[in-house]
Chains A and B, each alone.
Chain A
Amino acid sequence: MKEKASKLNLWLKSLSLSLKDFFFRVGVLGKKLFSNYKTILGTSIILLYILVAIFGPLIFPYNQEINMVDKYLMNSWTHPFGTDWLGRDVFRQVIAGAGSVLEIAFFTAAFSVVFGTILGIVAGYLGGWVDKVIMSVANIFLSIPAFPVYLLLAAVIVISSPIQFALVISVFSWAGLCRAIRIQVMSLKERDFLQICLVMRMSKAHIIFKEIMPNVFSYIAINFVTALRNAIMASVGIMLVGLAAYDPTNWGAIINAARTKGLTNVNNIYILLYPLVAIVIFEVATLMVSNGLDETFNPRLKEM
């Protein structure tokens, strides 16, 4: 009985120690990350977008009712961005669309980072025929023009949910990440510490998760942010053609609707500008975060 209690005690102690260690590491990492002004600015913009996506629709609910009396109103206090051709508030549409855009972006980034990292590490670490097979498959996806195939897939599958959308886009986006991670792992393999691990016959799991993963983590983080921007570019592009129109408040869908209404009407141009600016600001923010992360993790860039 006593033995058991002491064991539990020991276990709790080790748990608290490892937790302390974890939080200490997170603190150090956070301090390191947020010493760069680009990272701070970019992250705060992205956080703002996420907050708007979560709480915006609660504060400014969007109603789809058609109100022909109010069509094409200019900016005012009740309608900050004016109204569209059916009298619906554009400001509330844009806010309602934020969630849909971000959902697609995060799912795509998550899928492509998971696929790309696993395949990249496997290809780089194992080498040989596994490497050849994975890289030749990745090369196809890098050499076929991606966008037409996105369109074809989107039309054939008839996308109706953000997860389907994310899967379609990540069919192509994993390949670039896979290649980058593979090169990184191959150069790591030549380094002394990994050679020592190999000589000591450590298990593959240990080498991959404890030695390689922390070293390619910065690449994964940067690529996650880049995948976010690419996902938004691709998803809005697909919607601009008029496919995957399952959510009329998605920014791409708003732009496409205004575009098909006819750009000769100046009012349609005004409607289209707000989601466009929102997309551009998000893209600038992600670019800043990825550049900032790059500068903190690869300090060679700074000196040059």
Chain B
Amino acid sequence: MNPETPLRGEKAIRKKQPSKGWLVVSRFFQKYSYFFAKIGVSLLTLTLTTILLFFLLRLIPGDILEIYALKLQNQQGISYERAYELAKQLLNFDPSENVFLAFFHYVGGLFRGQLGNSYLETNVSANSLIATRLPWTLFVSTVALIISFLLGTTIGCYAAEKRKGFLEKLTSGYVAISGSIPDYLMALLLVIVFAYTLNWFPAQGNYDSFSVEPGFNFPFFGSVIYYSFLPILAYALVQTGTWILQMRGSTIGVLGEDFILAARARGLSDRTIRRKYLRRNALLPLVTMFGVSFGNLFGGATLMESIFNYPGIGLEISSRIVNKDYMVVQGLIFFSAAMVILVNLIVDMIYPLIDPRVRKN
């Protein structure tokens, strides 16, 4: 029998094996299945968010179209019917439409990048507001997040190590107080004390528009920091408490691990253990908290900025809700939700690079 000829059935088996190219693709997907799953979940969340916001939009009383149409009629001198049609187009909103058709229009508007036009002011839309206001909110919330993260993790680590002492009592008292004062009441107290009673800091605005010129110069930066000091302080005071609590719990968990005991047995100094073994491992689970914390900051900005009169996205949302400018508001809320989802996705993406154990599960 010729050894070259395949045995019975072997040919069929060979046929079943996928080609090399397909193998590479499937291996690629298997290797990065974690990332693809995360991307899929965030896309799903975004879709569901869109649906939810759409149904919220359907709750809006329909008379805003009539008000807008009357306004257009007066402004442009056209008939009421034409103004009504124009209003429908400009707001991308028609309460008499079929639900499915309206949903397609809504999603189409989002895909075209139209988040919503204001019906109170001409030439103001969610897009233009995001372009002008977002940098301020992002600046304040990221700076506050970084400061509170650094402070909170350092203090939390110490508090976990020295659990019987004055410092521990101080930190747990601080955590209790900062956890029980709502962040906006903290902001209100700060404004009352520092802005209205002592007059140390300004009570509104994001920079001194009279004396400095926006641009790349030091007086402008100084003014921005001076005006954003109180909001950042308020955020940081509240957020630091939660970071301390999280870091303390995480560090206590790591302290019980065997590798710390082994490091102690090898006679490593406390400082080395703390820096190279304890803190790094305790920080790992806190990275996932970053997304949640950012979401809290972004959502809380609505009230905080209206208390500080700090012109960011949050102030726009709260003042425009009161003025019933719903089309812009839903665009801004959609944008903030998308940003929070994106930040969560980025955190999820980075996390397995820091802690490879996650990808295997």
A interface list, Cβ under 8 A from B: 136-137, 139-140, 142-149, 151-153, 155-157, 229, 232-233, 236-237, 240-243, 255, 259, 263-264, 266, 269, 272, 276, 279-280, 283-284, 286-288, 304
Contacts and interface: CB of A to CB of B under 8 A. Distances in A.
Nearest to B336: A145
B271 to A, nearest CB: 23
Interface stretch (B52-60, B70-78, B92-100, B227-235): B52-60
8 A-B pairs with least C-beta separation: A145-B299, A283-B180, A233-B182, A147-B299, A144-B337, A284-B180, A263-B196, A140-B48
A136 B180 contact: no
Contacts of B41: 136, 139
A266 B192 CA distance: 9
Point out which of B180, B306, B336 has the most chain A C-beta atoms below 10 A from its C-beta. B180
Contacts of A146: 299
A209 B97 CA distance: 46
Nearest to A285: B180
B49 interface: yes
Nearest to B292: A142
B242 to A, nearest CB: 12
Interface in B188-209: 188-189, 191-192, 195-197, 203
Contacts of A145: 295-296, 298-299, 302, 333, 336-337, 340
A229 B181 CA distance: 10
Contacts of A263: 191-192, 195-196, 203
Interface in B109-145: none
A259 B307 CA distance: 9
Contacts of A155: 321-322, 324, 326
B336 A280 contact: no
Contacts of A272: 188, 192
A137 B188 CA distance: 34
Nearest to B172: A291
Contact of B45 (A143, A153, A242): A143
A153 B28 CA distance: 45
A125 to B, nearest CB: 22
Interface residues of B, number: 54
A184 B182 CA distance: 28
Contact of B303 (A137, A147, A288): A147
Interface in B308-346: 314, 317-318, 321-322, 324, 326, 329-330, 332-333, 336-337, 340-341, 344
Contacts of A137: 48
Contacts of B181: 280, 283
A152 B49 contact: no
B197 A269 contact: yes
B188 A143 contact: no
B308 to A, nearest CB: 12
Given A136-B48, A148-B299, A240 B56 contact: no
Contacts of A136: 41, 44-45, 48
A168 to B, nearest CB: 12
A283 B185 CA distance: 12
Nearest to A286: B180
A67 B347 CA distance: 58
Contact of B330 (A143, A152, A233, A284): A152
Nearest to A158: B61
A263 B188 CA distance: 10
B247 to A, nearest CB: 14
Contact of B252 (A156, A237, A266, A304): A304
B179 interface: yes
13 contacts: A140-B45, A143-B45, A144-B52, A145-B296, A148-B332, A156-B60, A237-B182, A241-B302, A241-B318, A264-B196, A266-B197, A269-B192, A287-B179
Nearest to A156: B59
A148 B333 contact: yes
Contacts of A269: 192, 196-197
A20 to B, nearest CB: 40
Interface string B160-179: 00010000000000001101
B56 A151 contact: no
Point out which of A142, A144, A242, A283 has the most chain B C-beta atoms below 10 A from its C-beta. A144
A280 B61 CA distance: 37
Contact of A259 (B44, B188, B317, B330): B188
A243 B192 contact: no
B106 interface: no
A152 B337 CA distance: 14
A237 to B, nearest CB: 5
Nearest to B160: A304
Contacts of B318: 148, 151, 241
Given A144-B340, A156-B326, A276-B188, 14 more contacts: A139-B41, A140-B48, A143-B341, A145-B298, A145-B302, A145-B333, A145-B336, A147-B303, A156-B60, A259-B307, A266-B197, A276-B189, A283-B181, A283-B182
Given A148-B332, A287-B176, A143 B344 contact: yes
Contacts of A149: 56, 333
A304 B164 CA distance: 11
Contact of B337 (A143, A229, A240): A143
